[in-house]
Amino acid sequence: MRELYLLESDVEEIGWQERALCAQTDPEAFFPEKGGSTREAKKVCHTCEVRDDCLEYALMNDERFGIWGGLSERERRKLKKLAVG
């Protein structure tokens, strides 16, 4: 029998994603059409206990689409520029 081993970081990553409120919500709200409203997604993120983990994941993985950690792609880009500059 083959055993599956997960790295500790993989287990932590899976853990926050399972606790994320967006996992229980319509995913289309988090990936709106260009120019579409992000209000509903951000409202969900605002009350989510793993918001910081989500934002960190998006920044570390250079996520270019969707709402992550309560921020749009443009807002994440600005945040990265502030951190670098």
Binding residues: 22, 45, 48, 54
Binding residue ranges for [4Fe-4S] cluster: 22, 45, 48, 54
Rounded to 5°, the CA angle 32-28-17 comes to 115
Amino acid at 12: E
DSSP conformational letter for 25: S
Please, what is the Cα angle at 33 between 30 and 35, to 5 degrees?
Answer: 105
